[in-house]
Amino acid sequence: MPYVPTFDRTQMMMCSWDSFVDEESIARLIDAFINSLDLTKYNVKEPASEGRPSYDPRGMYKLYIYGNRKGIRSSRKLAESCKINLEVKWMMGGAEPDFRTISDFRKDNIDSLKDIFHEFNRRISGAVEWGFTSIDGSKFTANNSKNRNFTKNKLDDRIKWLNAHTDEYLRILKDMDEQDEMNEMPENLTREVVEAKLAEAQERLAKYEAYQKLMEESGASQMSLTDADARLMKSKNGFMVAYNPQTAVDSETHLIRDFNMTNQVTDHGLLNDTMKNIREETPEDILETVADKGYDKADDMIECLENGIIPHVITSDGKDAYELEISYEEAEADTASSIPEDIKECLHAGHIPDAYKEVIQDMKVEEVRRLIKDETDPDYGKDNESPYGTQEEMMERAKQGYFVRDPERNLVYCPAGEILRQKCIKKNGNIRYANKNACRHCKNRNKCYKGKNEWKEIDFTKDGLEKPCKEWLKAEGQECDSKKKKRKGHYELIKVVKFKLKPDIVKMSQRMCLSEHPFGTIKRSMKADYFLLRGLRKVTGEFALLCLGYNIERAKNLLGFNKMMELMAG
């Protein structure tokens, strides 16, 4: 069999640029969509009247949207595509901007990218039927290595390590001064070498102590040096410095209706924020959303209900409903209304809105006893002041067998002399402290903790200052003399509304099929499991390009090319 015939490279040909682009290419959709936009709405800079002509901003938008859909994301690769990619040359009209021009355009117009994403969704909304949304988050690697990220525990360990090395270098220098015969020292360990190592250690120590002081003064739990907004997060593959974007995916079309870029380590409390724009677009509709167990936060679910959003959050094992509580406010509410303001009045008045009858059960108004703090009391606000004057006094008390909390620095001293830092805040408001590295190498581990984990975790209320280490005191033959602090204030009977929120099991079962698909497509097909830009504002624009690229391809498959061309023309 002969081979497939090929053309003669020296052959002359006459054709148009339009003939090089497939009739149903996504490049044609992008071209039609951007050409129909009114760029004055997006604060695009007007070209200067003098000097060299600037590149058409429409071409630059087309280049970025096309590039992100095809996995061509960096400015240098985009500049190369302007020379070798036929579809890109067709969209750009033969213009070949260099990588710096391409990069500067994205930097100057980063805020407009999310608005363009919303405009695309607005245009196709008339051709599709929206269902409920599925909200989920995923970790995307930030432009910041783990070595350039510091937590308080990490700084504590490095400062301790450098202090030990500094002491060792000083001891060696002292021994050198006292040595009569310098030949006894190793040949490669000269005074100059030791002094250089000492100076380096002291310089690093001063830098880390400055970082620690800055974090304590600002109250920050982490510090990233390359990308200040990036945070160390736990993922399936271990810890990574990343962002945690949230997407709201439609159940009927699998399109991304909206997204919320966050650097929050967990998903708690992000339901209402992610649905905010969708709520504003459809102010009188009852919205529904599903989410996994990571979104289990009572205040967030209550806020969703007050805004006309039904949250179907997967419950813990053994439960089929959430028990929620809100303040009681007497009002004559309209239970038939679907307006968020009326729904909020109904809930606080103890009436079930008609739209919520399938998900809210056992609503009742009760009187409960609550602690009320007296702001006129001269001791008001002093509940969490430490009875110890200095850090040394706290550490001395801790060595007696107690966990002592310093509320000003937000840390805990343990009986072994180590520092435990805040790990998280639990649902009940208690603060959890831990230090994994210190516990793993602690010589007194058996006197303190004998649990299944490799480290000790201690919980304090926001007013708690001291807790006994019972195992330590028992091993030392001492008795616990810690007294429980009396809470200041007085108790009153107040009215609250209690009810059960029962999520829809059928809708919850569809969550994984909805949320995982767009993330998988973006990370694998579009090769975008990491961010090129730095800062929350810039990565928001970068993620908007990824969501727009996904939605264009998905909408094309859903509606067909011809219908999409009609919609893109505006």
- Residue-wise pLDDT for 83-114, tens only, equals 999 999 999 999 999 999 999 999 999 999 99
The mean of the pLDDT values for the chain is 88
Task: Verify that 171 and 88 share a domain, yes or no.
Answer: no
Q: In this predicted model, what pLDDT tens digit does every residue of 485-502 receive, in sequence order?
A: 555 666 788 899 999 999
With CA atoms as reference, report the closest residue to 304 among 317, 290, 319, 292.
290
Q: Of 487, 507, 530, which residue is a domain's last?
A: 487
Task: Verify that 157 and 92 share a domain, yes or no.
Answer: no
522 in a structural domain: no
Q: Which residues contact 30 (CB under 8 A, 6 or more apart)?
A: 62, 65, 66, 69, 91, 552
Task: Verify that 150 and 105 share a domain, yes or no.
Answer: no
Q: Of 109, 135, 157, which residue is a domain's last?
A: 109
Phi, psi (degrees; rounded to nearest 5) at 145: -75, 160
Q: At how many degrees (to 10) do helices 561-568 and 26-35 cross? A: 20
Stronger pLDDT, 480 or 394, i.e. the higher one: 394
**Whole-model pTM?**
0.87
What is the pLDDT confidence band of residue 71, given thresholds at 50, 70 and 90? very high
Task: Verify that 101 and 154 share a domain, yes or no.
Answer: no
Task: Verify that 96 and 167 share a domain, yes or no.
Answer: no
Cβ count near 313 (within 10 Å): 23
What is the pLDDT confidence band of residue 76, given thresholds at 50, 70 and 90? very high
The structural domain count of the chain equals: 3
333 in a structural domain: no
What is the pLDDT confidence band of residue 444, given thresholds at 50, 70 and 90? confident
59 in a structural domain: yes
569 in a structural domain: no
Stronger pLDDT, 379 or 200, i.e. the higher one: 200
42 in a structural domain: yes
What is the spatial distance between Cα 174 and Cα 163, in angstroms, rounded to a whole number? 17
User: How many residues are given for the chain?
Assistant: 570
Task: Verify that 101 and 152 share a domain, yes or no.
Answer: no
* Residue 37, helix vs strand vs coil: coil
16 in a structural domain: no
Facing residues of 93 across strands?
Answer: none
Cβ count near 24 (within 10 Å): 13
479 in a structural domain: yes
**Residue 274 vs residues 33, 117, 307, 309: alpha-carbon distances, Å:** 26, 15, 13, 11
Facing residues of 413 across strands?
Answer: 404, 419
**In terms of residue numbers, what domain contains 77?**
21-109
CA-derived radius of gyration, the chain: 31
- 514 CA to centre of own chain: 20
Instruction: Give pLDDT, residue 418.
Output: 87
124 in a structural domain: no
Element housing 287 (H / E) = strand 287-291
